[in-house]
Structure 1
Amino acid sequence: MKPGPYRDAVERNREYLLSLDPDRLLHNFRASAGLTPRAPVYGGWEARGIAGHTLGHYLSACSLMHAQTGDEAVRGRIAYIIDELALCQAAHGDGYIGGTTVERADETVDGKVVFEEVRRGDIRTGGFDVNGGWVPLYTWHKVHAGLIDAFQTGKVERALPVMLGMAGYLATILEGLSEAQMQTLLQAEYGGLNESYANTHAITGDPRWLRVAEKIYDHRVLDPLAAETDQLAGLHANTQIPKLIGLARIHELGGQPRDRTAAHFFRDTVVAHHSYVIGGNSEAEHFGPPDQLSEAITERTCEHCNSYNMLKLTRHQYGWAPDAALFDFYERVHLNHVLASQNPQTGMFAYFMPLSAGAKRTWSTHDDSFWCCVGSGMESHAKHGDSIYWHDADTLYVNLFIPSTLDWDGARIDLITEYPFADTVALMVKAPMTRALAIRLPGWAKAPGIAINGETARFDRRGGYALLRREWRAGDRIELTLPMTLDIEPTPDDPGIVAYTHGPVVLAADLGPASADWDSLPPALVGASPQAAATPIDAAAHRFRIAGAKPDAVTLVPFFNQYDRRTAVYFPSFTPARWKREEASFIAAQRAAQALKKRTVDQIDIGEQQPERDHDFAMNHADLQSWAGKSGRLLPWGSGNYIEFTLAVRPGPMVLRALYWGQEVDKDFVIEIDGKQLVEEHRSVPPVKQWVSNDYPVPPEWTEGKDSVRIRFETRGTDCRVYEVRMLAAETGRTA
């Protein structure tokens, strides 16, 4: 890769990878094997039950980094880790290697116990755990995939026997389960475990591994997709995407027609009906109803892992049938989400990419985060050279306009550009070549042009490409011109809420530094046309001005590089007449939302993996469910079924607020705080088809001197459904 923001991201990521201590990532693996750890475990997720997932990502990231840059220092890290894992595997003696843990009887024990319980048919899951262990199959997949990458991409041959031993250990468990037991197990998140087994088959040719891959099939989610039915609303998004990547790989290795159908339908459905303007998807990690985005523009939009995996799935689909529109999507996500998710100053990563007005990005820390999005971030920013060029038997495809040099199979080309901060892309031929060139013509480009050696060239359009055939000579220069225009993209369910794009770049209002508080009203557009409201300041730099925005004029800038700024991506728009009618109600609604945000001391979104983990969620019987786009928990009919969690409190009167669906009435359950009954709730109210909140004042002495309390919902004869719970400061002037 040549100089530019993508190479900067790769170099910053290399520094981060080399700054990590492999022995700290190996801590739990050695402890599990009865070997003395060489260094203390890292914090964050690595200090919890999901520990070990980072090591798998780290192996993949270092392998990708080595493949892209040839860096031997990162390859040395791979070799060291493989040797250590081989020692751990030998100590276990059965192929097992794992770093997961599980809480049992108020102590933390080795996570291997969960796998052996599953072997015996003892399988219990609440959706994000197996027998109390936090997604152990998800972590297993990360390590399995990391070993595959270490062997194939990192070129460390001794990774293969370690990987095969690991694959064999789990396979003996899965092969012994009935179909019903498998379906129970697959209710828990398992990452791309099917993909790893499919790739193991591709490496070895052993049909056993493909059979295991095909057995890892979640009928509940995948059958509707194979039938081309969208039932994604309420599902945890990144639990699903890797399943479809696995199906895509199984299809490529000879799987059933349903595998391709499901993967194809899923990708196209998510892109067309569940994605925001930057190409990312999900709000608070979950899919909402299709084409319903206007009410889900928050600080928790667009988990990075989702975009990382959607790009992987898009690559599979493109490999089946080249289509430039697939790389229009790829570029949209790669530029506006992936590049936005790494802070170029610190190398740290963002979990969510917030799109709401006034939001800022929250960055990981070096030693105490290790979220899933740190892991996928390591990988994303180790492979920015990936997918620029593709080929078939006689054609070289140019899909991404990233400054780079291609030296492959006789093709030697320099790609020179400052795109997206320039509208020209030059390809310099460095050696004679007979291959045709297919250059992507982005769908947003209204009047693209091509010149060869300074002269306007005619070209064939095919599948979104400019197809150029000739005997290429060293020194030939092909120049692609892509004039960029300002455009708007409304939300599908409310055309009055719009986002701006300029060429491939998503724009955002710059609302000031992230370090400063922001309590202004969200900018609103008032005028006959949102598109006409924006006038250029410096179009080449993607800077525009909206003088008529309310309450103040705003400047539009590229969203992706606002790393330490507060932004707004979506804007409500009004005609002058409508603004006159609705100004007061709009302002009142925004102020009410801001006031609720200020009053909120803590909040848990029930049924969502990370919020539950962050709040020490526990339960005995409570099924994951969703309704009207929100996740929740169903406590089944009876008495004594419970969920409990911890919420922060602060000095002063507190109010507990619970969110219910208005039609779920005539229920009997109690709410307790630290073992004391706060209320016996009956929900004996007329049913309404909307969300409703109930406020429960908390006696001040229950929170005095505390910084958190334990909340419990428990049934008393009926079922109970809970979706969101907040701890609020009492309104000013009122007491509890």
Structure 2
Amino acid sequence: MVSRRELLAGASALVLAGPAFALARPASGEEVSPVPIGKVALKPSPFADAFAANRRYLLSLDPERFLHNFYLSAGLPAPKPVYGGWESQGIAGHSLGHWLSACSLVVANTGDKEVAAKLDHALSEMARIQAAHGDGYLGGTTVERDGKTVDGKIVFEEIRRGKIWSSGFDLNGGWVPLYVWHKIHAGLLDAHNLAGNPRAKPILLGVAGYLAGVLEPLDDAQMQKVLAAEHGGLNESYANTYALTGNPRWLRMAEKIYHKAVLDPLAARKDQLDGLHANTQIPKLVGLARLYELTDKQRYGTAASFFHDTVTHHHSYVIGGNSEHEHFGPPDKLSNRITEATCEACNSYNMLKLTRHLYRWQPHAHWFDFYERVQLNHMLAHQRPDNGRFVYFMPLASGARRIYSEPEDSFWCCVGSGMESHSKHANSIYWSDPSTLYVNLYIPSELDWPEHDLALTLDTTMPIEGDATITVRRAPAKRHMIALRMPGWAQNPTLKVNGTPVQPEMRNGYAMIDRVWRSGDTIALTLPMTLAVEPTPDDPNVVAFTHGPLVLAADLGPTSQPYEGLGPALVAEGAVSPAALAPTATPAHFTAKGAMGEAISFKPFFSQYDTRTAVYFPSFTPAGWAAKRDDYIRAQAEARELARRTVDILLLGEMQPERDHAFGPGKSEVVNWNGRAARRLPPGSTMTMTMDRKPGPAVLRVTIWNGDAGKPFAISVDGTTLEQSWPKASPGDRFVTLDFALPDTGEQGKAKAKIAITALKDQALIYEMRVLTAPTSGSAPTV
């Protein structure tokens, strides 16, 4: 069996070698850089399909609808209605920023005139809106004040005056306004740097200047209060604005946006990620990586490289993604966190950005082993290639299905980052330094780089089979090195130049071929794909399977049908081995025998867009299965019954679930105790939420910690106080649930329940709320 730590051992060894845990950067002019995206054209492949679907989606979107709130903020009439989903809520504008970046990538890659025209129109309108404000402000966020929705600019002006507060996922009551600001700033940078649109730079300098004017007067304590709220990669945007202009004001601003509570431990090489909202943190480290490149301050590089190593080796699932319900858990504890809410797509989008920075400092093939794992198994799975819709969480639980966005009524964060992710499949295939062309990803493509008198074609059956051929179409009349990544998963690869086997020099995971290339020269590469078993780090009996770079998953039937079966398990003498899977006539397809004697069909995970899947499998010895079979079947049945009865669920202390349930925090605060996020409510304070319900007898189930069971709190539904016999706290570390009976008359017929929880003499610590239908037996709910 190959564990994640063993699979990426080369990465660990290299990163851990440095005493400061930061990678030593090459001298100026010797760093590797991606070949400009405009020099690369995708050939037919799943990546080209994803790019094409994404382009169609980008063109279907109307920037004037994204700008609806922006017009109103500037006192201008809004010509089009606002989009639905998140864009109709307080976070309006974040999708526009991603859309700007995605369009800019398409223009840079292909010169697409239709996309360029739409981008130009958006920038023209943004310039008009910004001019109407007259101070550089350009925003569409809103905030609730005294029961009314008002322009979010009020939040920025309050911060300017030093009036700052947050209840966990807000800043002065506004839903992450600085996160949205970063998206706009970053999109404008891309419109200038990638698309070359002359309208972008004046707008971005106005945007940069307005926010700097708000934040510059704040002292460090005030700044840290601001940064406690999610702010995206604002430090990266200001760093890139400094790189663009050379104005030291922007560098000072980038360094001021330094969230000490998270970044100081990472710079000290301490993993304190447990319980943190994952994607809130990753962009901060992308920004530090950029600052390291601009300042050579070692602590920035140390934090960025330590964070990458920690996340990839201790917090990531087999597909390369991370987080469960958006949060990091304890390091190396994954086996009990394999759910329907694993691997938020934004996290992988940002981890790939961070990987590119680290690779620039140290061009070793292992970085792209990770990049490839994520791009193939998470990002390709994240987007439907027929209509370009996106998935927020990539569920890894048995029987789970992917939930796709609606074209005009979702606009989750992962829709925004998805628009970018599938615009950039050509941007990391080829890299170069002054003497070498690096081939990092085996994606069918053509490179045409007149400035270097170099053109070649890459044909490959990847990712399904491991054959690739590079054909040189044009080359300079001098020696030139081509470096081919030899993936860590490839067993005994072979290489031929013009049909003749060669044994090239190996360097940092690359086959180095140095010669005078001529038109018609070919490099034929065979990368044998073999099966491997990857167990979870905390339980070697919970395993996943890979075939070369592909993660395999069991096909458990179409998503159109509910999943009623047992989650598949495996039985083997000793540890499960790759021999548990038998090949079929179809490449990358396998079969296995489950613990119940059933046949299990395995296919590449990414391609199962309309299939319920299983990625991880509990395994037993024959004796272990005989002893635990009944318990396993019973636990599966109880889980299915709970899922069947669940009408709605709210996970306290998690941003999106709280937003979805109109959560009113009162004076509560977000905490992470006992391995889960929660809300801590002080005595006398009340928090509120709205949850779905159905007619008929029902149960409101509240999850608390065993030690808090003897601390009653008041709970009411639609104004009616619910009764409960409160248990006493008992020893033991475990969660317990309190079941409150909901009546089947009156308000129970409504589709929504308004719930209020008030702490009494003790604080209330609440982890989860769940509305259930009554038990089928008709028995009264119990504690």
* TM-score in same-fold range (> 0.5): yes
Q: 2:431 aligns with which of 390, 399, 413?
A: 390
Which structure 1 residue ranges, 5 or more long, are not aligned? none
Q: For 1:444, what is the secondary structure of its paired residue? A: coil
Deviation at 1:328, TM superposition (A): 0.3
Q: For 2:319, what is the secondary structure of its paired residue? A: coil
Q: 1:136 aligns with which of 145, 157, 177?
A: 177
Q: Is 1:73 aligned with 2:117?
A: no
CA change 1:583–1:549 in 2 (3 A) is closer
Deviations 1:131-178 (A, max 9, x none): 111110010100010000011111101210110001100101110111
Task: Answer with 131-140 or 521-530: which moved more.
Answer: 521-530
Q: 2:694 aligns with which of 650, 655, 664?
A: 650
Give the structure 2 partner of residue 424 of structure 1.
467
Give the structure 2 partner of residue 509 of structure 1.
554
Q: 2:593 aligns with which of 544, 547, 565?
A: 547
Amino acid at match of 2:81: P
Amino acid at match of 1:500: F
- Which residues in structure 2 correspond to 1:493-572 (within 5 Å)? 493-528=538-573, 529-538=576-585, 541-550=587-596, 552-572=598-618
Deviation at 1:530, TM superposition (A): 4.2
Q: Is 1:446 aligned with 2:491?
A: yes
Q: 1:165 aligns with which of 206, 211, 221?
A: 206
- Is the Cα contact below 8 Å between 1:95 and 1:168 reproduced in 2? yes
Q: 1:607 aligns with which of 653, 673, 676?
A: 653
Q: 2:764 aligns with which of 688, 705, 720?
A: 720
Deviations 1:246-284 (A, max 9, x none): 111111110521111111000110000110000000111
Distance of 1:450 and 1:642 partners within structure 2: 68
- Which residues in structure 2 correspond to 1:357-376 (within 5 Å)? 357-376=398-417
Amino acid at match of 2:88: A
Distance of 2:590 and 2:300 partners within structure 1: 45
Give the structure 2 partner of residue 330 of structure 1.
371
Amino acid at match of 1:720: A
Distance of 1:681 and 1:117 partners within structure 2: 46
Q: 2:440 aligns with which of 394, 399, 402?
A: 399
- Which residues in structure 2 correspond to 1:661-676 (within 5 Å)? 661-676=705-720
Give the structure 1 partner of residue 679 of structure 2.
633
CA change 1:644–1:683 in 2 (3 A) is farther
Amino acid at match of 2:285: L
Distance of 1:687 and 1:98 partners within structure 2: 52
Q: For 2:771, what is the secondary structure of its paired residue? A: strand
Give the structure 2 partner of residue 436 of structure 1.
481
* C-alpha RMSD over aligned residues: 1.3
Distance of 1:60 and 1:151 partners within structure 2: 10
Deviation at 1:654, TM superposition (A): 1.1
CA change 1:368–1:325 in 2 (3 A) is same
Give the structure 2 partner of residue 579 of structure 1.
625
Give the structure 2 partner of residue 280 of structure 1.
321
- Is the Cα contact below 8 Å between 1:270 and 1:281 reproduced in 2? yes
CA change 1:115–1:426 in 2 (3 A) is same
Amino acid at match of 2:426: G
Amino acid at match of 1:534: L
Q: Is 1:481 aligned with 2:526?
A: yes
- Is the Cα contact below 8 Å between 1:128 and 1:189 reproduced in 2? yes
Give the structure 2 partner of residue 459 of structure 1.
504
Deviations 1:477-524 (A, max 9, x none): 001110111111001111111101000110000111111111110111
Deviations 1:556-603 (A, max 9, x none): 001101011111111111111111111001111111111111111100
Distance of 1:521 and 1:608 partners within structure 2: 29
The two structures have a TM-score, normalised by structure 1, of 0.98
Distance of 2:222 and 2:706 partners within structure 1: 35
Distance of 1:666 and 1:122 partners within structure 2: 38
Distance of 1:664 and 1:121 partners within structure 2: 37
Deviation at 1:35, TM superposition (A): 0.5
Q: 1:471 aligns with which of 494, 508, 516?
A: 516
Distance of 1:663 and 1:325 partners within structure 2: 46
Task: Answer with 99-108 or 605-614: which moved more.
Answer: 99-108
Deviations 1:415-474 (A, max 9, x none): 111211222111111123422111101101110111001010011111111111111111
Deviation at 1:538, TM superposition (A): 3.0
- Which residues in structure 2 correspond to 1:199-238 (within 5 Å)? 199-238=240-279
Q: Using CA pairs below 8 Å that are at least 6 residues apart, which structure has the higher relative contact order?
A: 2
Deviation at 1:628, TM superposition (A): 3.1
Q: Is 1:708 aligned with 2:755?
A: no
Distance of 2:727 and 2:308 partners within structure 1: 41
Deviation at 1:526, TM superposition (A): 1.4
Give the structure 2 partner of residue 314 of structure 1.
355
Give the structure 2 partner of residue 411 of structure 1.
454
Distance of 2:686 and 2:358 partners within structure 1: 44
- Is the Cα contact below 8 Å between 1:289 and 1:628 reproduced in 2? no
Distance of 1:390 and 1:663 partners within structure 2: 56
Which structure 2 residue ranges, 5 or more long, are not aligned? 1-41
* Number of equivalent positions: 733
Q: For 1:704, what is the secondary structure of its paired residue? A: helix
Deviation at 1:684, TM superposition (A): 3.4
Deviation at 1:700, TM superposition (A): 2.6
- Which residues in structure 2 correspond to 1:582-601 (within 5 Å)? 582-601=628-647
Deviation at 1:683, TM superposition (A): 6.1
Deviation at 1:735, TM superposition (A): 4.9
Deviation at 1:548, TM superposition (A): 4.2
* Runs of 4+ residues over 3 Å off in structure 1: 679-684
CA change 1:683–1:118 in 2 (3 A) is farther
Give the structure 1 partner of residue 386 of structure 2.
345
- Which residues in structure 2 correspond to 1:233-248 (within 5 Å)? 233-248=274-289
Deviation at 1:187, TM superposition (A): 1.0
CA change 1:704–1:548 in 2 (3 A) is closer
Aligned identity (percent) is: 56
- Is the Cα contact below 8 Å between 1:651 and 1:705 reproduced in 2? yes
Task: Answer with 683-692 or 561-570: which moved more.
Answer: 683-692
The two structures have a TM-score, normalised by structure 2, of 0.92
Distance of 2:597 and 2:704 partners within structure 1: 34
- Is the Cα contact below 8 Å between 2:532 and 2:577 reproduced in 1? no
Deviation at 1:106, TM superposition (A): 1.9
CA change 1:693–1:702 in 2 (3 A) is farther
Deviations 1:281-321 (A, max 9, x none): 01111111111111111111111100000000000000111
- Is the Cα contact below 8 Å between 2:742 and 2:748 reproduced in 1? no
Distance of 2:329 and 2:258 partners within structure 1: 23
- Is the Cα contact below 8 Å between 1:671 and 1:681 reproduced in 2? no
Deviation at 1:79, TM superposition (A): 1.0
Distance of 2:547 and 2:118 partners within structure 1: 42
Distance of 1:106 and 1:286 partners within structure 2: 31
Q: 1:54 aligns with which of 95, 102, 106?
A: 95
Deviation at 1:668, TM superposition (A): 4.2
Deviation at 1:642, TM superposition (A): 2.3
Q: For 1:191, what is the secondary structure of its paired residue? A: coil
Amino acid at match of 2:623: A
Q: Is 1:621 aligned with 2:667?
A: yes
Amino acid at match of 1:88: I
- Is the Cα contact below 8 Å between 1:125 and 1:188 reproduced in 2? yes
